Structures are given as C-alpha cells and as structure tokens.
Structure 1
Amino acid sequence: MPPPASMAGYRVGWICPLYTDMLAARAMLDEDYGMIRGHGQDTNTYAVGRIHDHYVVIAGLPAGFDGALTSASVVKDILRTFHELRFMMLVGIGAGIPNPPVVDIRLGDVVIGQPAGSDAGVVQFNRGKNIPTSRFERKGMLFPPSHSLLTALTAQRAEHELHGSRKICDFVAEMFNRYPNLKRDFSYPGLMYDRLFRLDYHHIKDQPTCQYCVREAEVPREARSNTGPAIHYGLIASGDQIIKDSFVREFIRSSYGAMCVEMEAPGLMHNFPGLIIKGISDYADSHRNERWHKYAAAAAAACTKELLHYVSSVKIEQEAPIQAIIDDEGSQYLEN
C-alpha cells in the first residue's frame, strides 16, 4: 500500500513511553515510511507506517520524562497534526501483579487493560506516604476503549484461548529477521531469570542482580509448556510513582484486582478512548532490574500488531475522530 497522501490518512495512534518501546513498535511496522515532524505547535517527531491495512503514527515521550502529565502533553500535540485519528494505544512495559495459581503472570507476558464493570480497563490511584497503612486515593473515571478495539479484543482473546500466542512469537521472529541487530538485546532472557519471591524476602543490598537471592524464598509455580508470552486481560493500575515494594503490590492487587501497575495511562485515557498494553518487565518489588525491559517491550509491540489484525478498517472509518469526541465532550484539553 502506498503512504497516505496527507496526515489526514492516518487512523491509529501508538504512544511509547520509552525509546525501547518506540524501537520495538517501529520494528513491527509492515511498511516503515520514516520519521516526520509535527506541524505548527506540535513539538513531537513521529515514526509513520503501515500495519496490516492500518496507517499508524508512533510517538514517543520526551527522553528522561515519564508519567501521566508527559503522556498527556504528547497526546495533545499529536492531535494538532493528525486530526483524523480514531483511537490511540499506549504500549510499553509495566510491572506484573501475580497471584499464582489464579493469576499466573510471568515476566515477558502481556497485560491488556480491558474494561470491567465501571472501570475502563485502568484504575488510577495516588500513592500514600506510609504504605500499606495509608490509603490509596482512587481518582476519577477514565474513558473506555473504542468499540472497534473492544471487538478486536474479543476476537484476539478467543484466538489465544484456542491456539495460544504463537502469532506474537512469529512477529518477534520476523522482527529479528528484518533487523538482526535487535536479536541480542530483545530476545527472551531465559527462564532462570524469571524469579518471583515471597512478599517478605527482600533483594540483597548492593547486588545488581538476584544471583545471590536464595532459591528457597521463591514462590513455587507450575512449569509452562513453552516460553511464549501469555496474554492477560483485566485491570491495570496507574499511579504517580514506580512501585518497588511487594507489599504495596499486594495491596494494589487485593484492593483493585489489578494485574499490572504503571504510570502513564491516565494521560491518554482521561481525555478520549484508548487502550493500554503492557509487557511485564518486573514484579514491582525490590528485585526489579532492567534485564527483561527490551523483551517485554517487544512482546507488547507484537501483541499490539496482532490486535490490529483484528481491527476492521471499515469499522473504524465509521467511528468519530478523536477530535470530534473531544469537541462533543466540551473538553478544554487542546487549548494552549
């Protein structure tokens, strides 16, 4: 397919919190049209391309900045240039909140924020000063994903129940074939580095890895039949700080039933329909390190690519542009 004749031809926005997320996203494009600058007051630089029959624009957060305010600023600017976007997705890494064997989340898995009851797939909280004795303050309501995305989620989930996540593994393998230089850093790190410890077992001080953490403190988990990522659908918790405390993680799980915790989602979903997709890179505890970051980013990007195969390009043409949704809601979001 040829590139769109103008910016008005793009329908899908893909927001990446980290440069590794953006690298993985761009490596998933079926056709890469290169980088372009925003127009006028838009200060972003974008990667644009095609996935399946969708024209996609990829934006990253400014280097060294994260959180909801930063993601909101990037989203504000992207709409200055791409007026016809139908939905956006925030795709990157997050911390898993496992509860084995009921919720058996592993490193490298992917969590998709799916609406449940009154929640739009994401629950926002503010962290208290004395955890877990102080409360998390729940904040506001967030927009649910668009109808076309929710329909695609149903199809993808059914496919995974029947056949597993083999397409995601295939997309990662295709990425390595196309960009061999990424294979070393973005490959599966190895089962021996996926270690979930008891809540009361803390990381050994001044040790960069868990090499000296004792095996007896690990939570026993049943072996999986393969190392491909499992995809989980449920609530994602979004706060204002990185969580590195297993007791805080457990508090969030028991309070909200969340499967993942991250920091950027409200900047997207406070203002219009969106979807959050997170590759699991740590367990929100003191054992957190960066070994799994790039593989988790690749898994999340591959999962997003698969999801777009289930999104009908005909259906999204029938949906209102994000700009129209903002106008209908009377939002002042795009004002200077």
Structure 2
Amino acid sequence: MSFTKQMSSPPPLEQFQIGWICALHIEAIAAAKMLDITYGPLQFQDKSDSNSYLLGKIGHHCIAIASPRAGSIGNTPATAIAVNLLRTFHDIRVGFMVGIAGGIPSQKHDVRLGDVAVSFPGDNCGGVRQHDFGKSLEGGKFHRTGFLNRPPNSILSAVSLFRLQIDLERTRFPRSVRDALEKDSVLKNKCSAPDPKTDRLFKANQPHPPETTCAQHPVEWDVARAQLASDAPNVHYGTVVSGNSVVKSAAVRDSLLQDIPDAVCVEMEASGLMNDFPCIVVRGICDYCDSHKNDQWQGYAALAAATYAKELLEFLPAQEVAEEILALKLYRK
C-alpha cells in the first residue's frame, strides 16, 4: 500500500474515464486512501452537479471518486450521484460502486464480517438482482421480474484474472488490508477490525431483544460455523441483491436466499445504476441483515472493499477502458 503524493491541480477532465461511487462518508474515506496520487480541488464542476469529488490516480487510471454532499442511502441517491458525475465528467466509461452491505451466509458462500462481495454474472443474472421489483401473486407469493445489465466486459475480464491470482496467492490481497491499517493513522482510527469474537451469526429464531447488546446473548444462539484459518477477508463472487428498503430480518434474508441461491449480500444502491451506468459492485460485509445489525464493522468492511477495488484496477488495462462505450451515451438512450 503506497502513500499518496499531492499535486497542485488535476489533469484535463477528459483523462478521467473511471468513476468510483460512494454513498457513505466512511466509504469515501476508505476510497480516498486508495489513491496513489491525490490531486488538488476540482477547478470546474457543472452547476447542476451536486456531488463532492476526490480526484486522483491509481496505477495508470485517473479516478473520480464521487459522493453526495449530504449523506443518504437508497438506489435513487446512487443514481443521482452517477447522473451528476456524468454532468461534469463526460468521458467516464466504467464505474465502480464500492462500499458496505449486509451479508447473506449460505452453504455456497461462507460469508463472514469483513469479507468482500463482488457482483458477478451467473445463470440468468447479470450480477445484481432487485429484490423488491416484480409482481404480487395469489397466495401472497412475489415474482421478481426484470433484468439488470452485466458489468462491462473489461471489468469482468479483470475480475477473472484477479480472482485467479488471489486463489494462487500471487497478489497482495488480502494482506494489503492489514498493511493499510499499519501504515495509515486515519485508517487505523476509523477502519480497524473489531474483535473477531464480535462476528457472531445468530440463529434466525433468536431476534435481538430490546435493551440488550449482542455481547449479552448466550452462545447457544450462535449458528455453528467452522473456525477460519485466518481473520483476513475472503472474497465471494455472486449475486448482489439490491432494493429500496433496509433488510433487518433473518427471515427476509433467508427467503431471499431461497429465491436467489447465489446471493452474497443485500444493499440499497446498485439496482438504480446497473441498466444505465456500466459498473461493477464491490461490497464489504458489515452485518448479517438481521435484527442484530449494527455499525461496528462498517469501517473495516469499507476498507476491505476499497482495497479490493484498488487492486482490481491493477488488472484493468487502460486501453480496454478507453475502448468501452461512453457511459453518457447509455444515459441518453
């Protein structure tokens, strides 16, 4: 993890072809710390563009990190961030949606707090599914409809190559997450990993009682899980489930898994982006979408996701990015 260097002013806006979207303040902090070079303030911004920007460079890529000036969640704000981004940066071709999400543990994906989830196409799915869009049927059943676009081919190729190198232990990830914490005082203060003992997956029939803390819950409430050889984050590739509402129910979470067997996490922004903004979704797991949900792991999860995204960019050739269609053209269709 290299330290950033400050420059007086950014290069011409046409050199920025990658947009990195953050919906929360802690996500923007983690993203900013990933930049190899940090540029000074943006000198021009479209008067209709209400985003805040952090500009810099990762490897050969000029990156525009966009976040809302007033923090909010949901897929409409994420869409607004992307629309505003393209008002100022007309040459954006690919996007990264990087941040935190609630995990969906399963037999296929042994998701733990601090792990990373990456949207990746599977059977009849482009990598993101909207869980609250569809038709209500007789008997109280809900049929999800619609299809969201896949990430750009250049990013999918980079993900496949990066995934192989991680499996072969030929990359810095996930060791680089620990290295970032050791070298940067801001990240150490805001994004350090909580005690691993706080990573507890509770049985679905054991909701969080009022006026208690999770530390007070008996061990009998825990789902039995294998002990991991390392506390370092693992990466899960599958379907990111997205919608307009916060999922804070183990029963709802498990019902989503029944309908979407390859689900890895639930979040609230991606479904508003995928059909108009060519991007990949990278999420750090900060809770399990149940009544025990809290913000204890948010900082570390944001850092894990940002670190993965930074190193993924190393496997993304600048020439392949330049050959992707302009994102602005997708919005004008």
TM-score by length of 1: 0.90
The reply to whether residue 13 of structure 1 matches residue 19 of structure 2 is yes
State how far apart, in whole Å, the 2-side matches of 1:218 and 1:314 are.
49
Q: What is residue 231 of structure 2 aligned with on the other side? A: 227
Q: What is residue 191 of structure 1 aligned with on the other side? A: 196
Rate the CA distance shift 1:192–1:175 in 2: closer, same or farther, 3 A: closer
Which of 25, 47, 68 is the matching residue for 1:40? 47
Q: What is residue 57 of structure 2 aligned with on the other side? A: 50
Q: Aligned Cα RMSD in Å? A: 2.1
- SS of residue paired to 1:34: coil
Gaps (5+ residues) in structure 2? Answer: none
Rate the CA distance shift 1:325–1:246 in 2: closer, same or farther, 3 A: same
The reply to whether residue 126 of structure 1 matches residue 141 of structure 2 is no
The reply to whether residue 60 of structure 1 matches residue 67 of structure 2 is yes
Rate the CA distance shift 1:125–1:169 in 2: closer, same or farther, 3 A: same
**Contact persistence 2:82–2:277 (CA under 8 A):** no
Q: Percent identity?
A: 35
* Offset of residue 272 of structure 1: 3.0
* Offset of residue 267 of structure 1: 2.0
The reply to whether residue 318 of structure 1 matches residue 318 of structure 2 is no
State how far apart, in whole Å, the 2-side matches of 1:15 and 1:24 are.
12
Which of 242, 246, 257 is the matching residue for 1:242? 246
* Offset of residue 157 of structure 1: 1.0
* Offset of residue 62 of structure 1: 4.2
**Contact persistence 2:52–2:69 (CA under 8 A):** no
Which of 79, 82, 88 is the matching residue for 2:89? 82
Q: Deviations over 1:82-118 (max 9, x none)?
A: 1111111111100000014x32000000000101133
**Contact persistence 1:108–1:281 (CA under 8 A):** yes
- SS of residue paired to 2:39: strand
Rate the CA distance shift 1:230–1:282 in 2: closer, same or farther, 3 A: same
* Offset of residue 175 of structure 1: 5.5
Residue type matched to 2:207 in 1? H
- SS of residue paired to 1:11: strand
- SS of residue paired to 2:273: helix
State how far apart, in whole Å, the 2-side matches of 1:300 and 1:143 are.
21
* Offset of residue 226 of structure 1: 0.8
**Contact persistence 2:284–2:304 (CA under 8 A):** yes
Aligned pairs for 1:71-150 (under 5 A) are 71-100=78-107, 102-126=108-132, 134-150=140-156
**Contact persistence 1:14–1:91 (CA under 8 A):** yes
- SS of residue paired to 2:215: coil
State how far apart, in whole Å, the 2-side matches of 1:294 and 1:166 are.
20
**Contact persistence 1:85–1:322 (CA under 8 A):** yes
**Contact persistence 1:90–1:277 (CA under 8 A):** yes
Residue type matched to 1:211 in 2? A
**Contact persistence 1:125–1:136 (CA under 8 A):** no
**Contact persistence 2:133–2:144 (CA under 8 A):** no
Structure 1 segments of 4 or more deviating over 6 A?
A: none
**Contact persistence 1:165–1:228 (CA under 8 A):** no
Rate the CA distance shift 1:291–1:41 in 2: closer, same or farther, 3 A: same
Residue type matched to 2:246 in 1? I
Residue type matched to 1:161 in 2? D
**Contact persistence 1:112–1:276 (CA under 8 A):** yes
Q: What is residue 273 of structure 1 aligned with on the other side? A: 278
**Contact persistence 1:114–1:120 (CA under 8 A):** yes
Gaps (5+ residues) in structure 1? Answer: 331-336
Rate the CA distance shift 1:116–1:50 in 2: closer, same or farther, 3 A: same
Residue type matched to 1:18 in 2? L
